[in-house]
Amino acid sequence: MDPMVEKKKKKWNSIKRKWAAEVEDEEQKAVIATCVFRPVDKNPYYLHRGAQCVTITDFSDLRENIDQFVEAEAGWLASWIEYLGDKETANKLRETPVEVRRIVIARYNELCDFL
């Protein structure tokens, strides 16, 4: 086979693999977005603050109330987010609990485009 044709074929295969990986990543994010923004048959997260209790049912509620969370609650929050179906965010929260607010807001912004 002509070396030039072979080179073009390799380049095209590389592009196809990259595109397929990007499509798969977007499909996976769409599934995760549905799980965290529109959870079905999942229990809410109850955030207790003194006599008040805030019920967080989805990622939109979480984004609205993120300033009420403290680092010590990152583990519980990570478990709830994993329960909804987002293991990636849960792992990030467990790894760097001090970044709760930044992690949640970044993930919210990333996933809201997939609804």
Q: What is the mean pLDDT of each run of 10 residues along the chain (115 residues)?
A: 56 59 80 96 94 96 95 96 97 96 96 91
DSSP 12-79: HHHHHHHHHHHHHHHHHHHHHHHHHHS-SS-PPEEEEETTEEEEE-SHHHHHHTGGG--GGGHHHHHH
User: What's residue 14's pLDDT?
Assistant: 62
CB 105 within 8 A of CB 93: no
pLDDT of the residue at 43: 97
Short-list 78, 82, 84, 79, CA closest to 38? 84
pLDDT of residue 7: 55
pLDDT score for 115? 85
pLDDT value at residue 2: 59
pLDDT at 108: 97
pTM of the complete model: 0.80
